[in-house]
Chain A
Amino acid sequence: MTEREASTGRRWFEALSGTNGERSGTPGSLLIADATLGDERVTYIAVAPDPDARFMRARHAELGLEEGWFGAKYLTDLIKADRNGIKRPIITVVDSKSQAYGRREELAGIYLAAAALIAAFAEARLEGHPVIALIVGRAVSGSFLELCGQANEIIAFNSPDVIVHAMYKEAAARITRRSVAELDKLGEKIVPLAYDIGSFAKLGALYKLLDVANPSEPADATVQQVKTVLLEAIASARSGPRDLSRRLQSEGAQNLRQASLIVREKMAQQWAES
């Protein structure tokens, strides 16, 4: 194996788990490690760059076919293993470019690999595993949906390098026939369009927006700081509901997801009446 490509995600994964996350039998891009956090045994998961990935369109920290299916299988086995014991917290360390874009991927049904991984995280949450997403870098489109979407609690670093979005700016500009400058301008006015993590936080889906010194280079102090927050998030997940309803109860959602709330309220009312 060639030397591991450095990335913010990999650095944080290694700093938190104390291992490089390599496991025989799973792809090199899929980092998985069991570690101790406080008194807890937790599992860390990340998708990182791997120049040797079997599928060439998934070598730069993309969620591809293998990342999806191997990740799903691992999680499903983990759920089984913990069935009668303590439900291990699962922490994703997220700095992944996007889903993989390629012909082979579409032929072999990458949508299903993604669905499999999402289902596995959702099952874990429904089974009572605290699922925590720690966004340290990119969580765009498929990488957000697959690694963060089903988490009980999402934590993001308050850093200009952290980005949560449906699509990278250049591509979104092309498709919506706007210039990048126009997109930025719109983002100032229309919060869900903005690319900065502060705006995303306003939507109410984050457990915490975390200020970390030098977020791309973990240090002892910042690792400790993050671990503390992770433990809080785990406790919060354990005490909270097993669905995603908290995202809608947040203050941010009360401000910016009023339409969502109206849909929920009115439909429930009409459903009951019909």
Chain B
Amino acid sequence: MIAPELTEEVLALTKRRSYIELGARDRALALLDPGTFRELLGPFDRVESPWLPMQGIVPQSDDGCVVAKGKVDGQPAVVIALEGKFQGGSIGEVCGMKIATALALAREDNERGKPTRAVLSIESGGVRLQEANLGELVLAEIYAEMVALRKHTPIIALIAGMTGCFGGMSLAAGLASYVVMTPEARLSMNGPEVIEQEAGVDEIDSRDKPFIWSYCGGRQRYGTRLADVLVEDDAEVIAASVRDLFRRGLPAEVRSSQHELFLDRLGALDPNKQWTANELRDVWKDVSHD
């Protein structure tokens, strides 16, 4: 039988290595320059959640957060990757503190003249309800460190996989210097189930997947310039986009400081109607401060 010609898209698909399929550790490996990965507080350090076993829940030896030092594009870097498969990437005391501490140490490097940059690979449903208030406290500490570090070096938030980026970590993405997303990724504060519960099914039908991705999926966030880069699920392409963003240096103004733009954007919306994702894109297209 003659091998049929496959389209370029299919050929590309068969060649590429999926980033979404990778676990947190392999993601960090994929983002760092080859041979530079060095994990901090890895599994064998066994710093686990003290709170989960008290509730009969099996902990993970890295608490779902991989912190690795290394280099990106030849420059010192720290990659922080969350594991969406462990407790939904939720932020508990240990994993949250790992993030905050890694950011703080990167800041100290920068203050001492070593330009350590940071990447956050996020898969998270938000705060870990089994550690509730400690989750809130470590989130606040993560935010504090992000605001301090991003003055020195860009922080890239990378949202790739099926867990998405919700709750407390969506705010972290909001504080990042740059945001990279795949079309499969979602970035939203409140999960659709929670909104459906709080505001009713007419507000959001959490089972309507195309609708959910239409408002918070990577395509829409990129289309409304809430994400800087939209990439296909390809580990090499994603790593390259991270390198490219670092080459851009610090953004002229981080997104969370663009008050005028977003106040204008809010002003342009009719609050009395439920907008579709496309309507929002159209309305916002005309609101520009460039």
Contacts and interface: CB of A to CB of B under 8 A. Distances in A.
B41 A270 contact: yes
Contact of A267 (B67, B148, B255, B260): B67
B13 interface: no
Main secondary structure on A side of the interface with B = helix
A103 B195 contact: yes
Contact of A172 (B38, B129, B204): B129
A193 B132 contact: yes
Interface in A74-131: 76, 99, 101-116, 118-119, 122-123, 125-126
Given A119-B147, A259-B93, A264-B101, A203 B256 contact: no
Interface string B258-282: 0110110110010100110100100
Main secondary structure on B side of the interface with A = helix
Given A260-B97, A267-B41, A115 B55 contact: no
B18 interface: no
A104 B97 CA distance: 32
Given A110-B189, A172-B132, A176-B130, A267 B101 contact: yes
Interface stretch (A43-51, A53-61, A225-233): A53-61
B133 A166 contact: yes
A111 B45 contact: no
B114 to A, nearest CB: 11
Contacts of A150: 140, 143-144
Nearest to A118: B143
Nearest to A261: B97
Contact of A176 (B69, B129, B271): B129
Interface stretch (A12-20, A28-36, A63-71): A63-71
Interface stretch (B4-12, B25-33, B165-173, B235-243): B165-173
A55 B257 CA distance: 22
A103 B262 CA distance: 17
Nearest to A112: B174
Interface in A130-189: 141-142, 144-145, 148-150, 164-167, 171-172, 174-176, 186, 189
A268 interface: yes
B271 A267 contact: no
A166 to B, nearest CB: 4
B226 interface: yes
A-B residue pairs, 7 tightest by C-beta = A115-B174, A149-B140, A111-B170, A73-B259, A122-B147, A101-B198, A111-B189
